[in-house]
Amino acid sequence: MRVIAHATEDTSRVREALDFFLSGACVKEGSKLVEELQAEGHHGNPITILSVQLKKKAECLNFARFVRRNFSEEDVDMLREEMPERLDDDMVFHLRFDKQAAYLQQVKLTNSSDAIIAKVKIETYPKNREKAGAIVEELFG
């Protein structure tokens, strides 16, 4: 997962939004796993990039269950419709969550570029888009 805290935002609040997903995934001491990178935005403004990678199978499954449990039916319907576009050729499933909603302890999909971006790698052997799609359906509804 990755999120950008713009100069006009309180980085600690953006971190809290990211921590919401980590705690939902039952990641122990998740905030300690978050990497923080200072960068320069498009117009030269300072930004902070917060990112975390979940590698343990249990944490990844907990993340998917947490997201699915907290999705609205509208979000589930949107995911079903957009699944082919969200699953790329490398079997990575792309999600964008509303930062403000996450800060308020809600899971809500968004199409905004100013979002908490989650990339979920779907492993199939051999690599198979149809099987990956079935796994996505099982995980996220």
Domain boundaries, the chain: 2-140
Radius of gyration from C-alpha coordinates of the chain: 15
CB atoms within 10 A of CB 108: 18
Return the CATH number of the domain spanning residue range 2-140: 3.30.1440.10
Strand partners, 50: 3, 36
Q: Which residues contact 78 (CB under 8 A, 6 or more apart)?
A: 109
pLDDT score for 131:
93
CA distance 88 to 24: 26
pLDDT score for 47:
95
Q: What percent of the chain has pLDDT over 70?
A: 100
Instruction: Answer whether 0.95 is exceeded by the pTM.
Output: no
Cβ–Cβ < 8 Å for 89, 57: no
CB atoms within 10 A of CB 28: 9
Model confidence pLDDT, tens digit, residues 38-94: 999 888 899 999 999 999 989 999 999 999 999 999 999 999 899 999 999 999 999
